Amino acid sequence: MDRVVALVRIDDLVAGTLGAQTFVESTPDGWWYVARLPGERVVTVFVTDPAMARVLTADHWDGWRRALAGTQLFAERLAGLALKARPDTARYRVRSIRVSRLQPVAGAGWLAVGDAAAELDPIAGRGMHDALGDAREAARAVIAGHPWSVSYEARIHSRFHDHLIERAALYGLEQRWPAARFWQDRPGVA
């Protein structure tokens, strides 16, 4: 249904305060989030389209760093932290996200769970929650002796449908850049 790319940087937090909340900020080319991770680490992510991802990661991620420095909320918030850079091989990552659903999600002797069943846009923040719910339902189906049940298929289909509605509503909230390609390409409910 859609494809976005998450450009991820992970740093060690040496000093400063960053709460447990996840912060989100939108820009014309996509949206950022920053969160504290276990083990005194900080993750900074920019979700954008594949073409912009190529531009921002060229020249050893200099474009990504410039884009982050241009944010209204995060540049200042991160500047107040003492972050220790990890080696580039461990610090920067690129993750492709394909908003999609497997059909069918189960068959004779197999069952897809989590992202294998339906890959969600991280804008909704439901990936881990839904993956754990899938695992619980899959375990119940296996224990009951019918992992390829129609009810499991219906559950995944319904969850994915709900995700698409929630995703459209969230993308539809951003109205500042109607001419920006990233926001034009995302389905939104105005």
The CB density around residue 138, as the number of other CB atoms within 10 Å, is: 21
One domain for residues 59 and 136: no
* Amino acid (one-letter) located at 103: Q
pLDDT score, position 190: 47
pLDDT score, position 177: 92
One domain for residues 122 and 139: yes
Averaged over successive runs of 10 residues, the pLDDT of the chain (190 residues) comes to 93 81 90 89 93 93 93 86 75 91 86 90 84 84 74 87 92 92 80
Tell me the pTM. 0.87
One domain for residues 75 and 110: no
One domain for residues 109 and 153: yes
Residue 190 lies in a domain: no
pLDDT score, position 133: 85
Distance CA 45, CA 68 (A): 10
pLDDT score, position 29: 96
- Which of residues 63, 97, 131 is at a domain's end? 97
Whether residue 145 contacts residue 159, with contact meaning beta carbons closer than 8 Å, is answered with no
pLDDT score, position 78: 84
Q: For 116-159, what is each residue's pLDDT tens digit?
A: 999 999 998 887 888 888 888 888 877 887 666 677 888 889 99
| Bridge partners of residue 98, in order along the sequence | 3
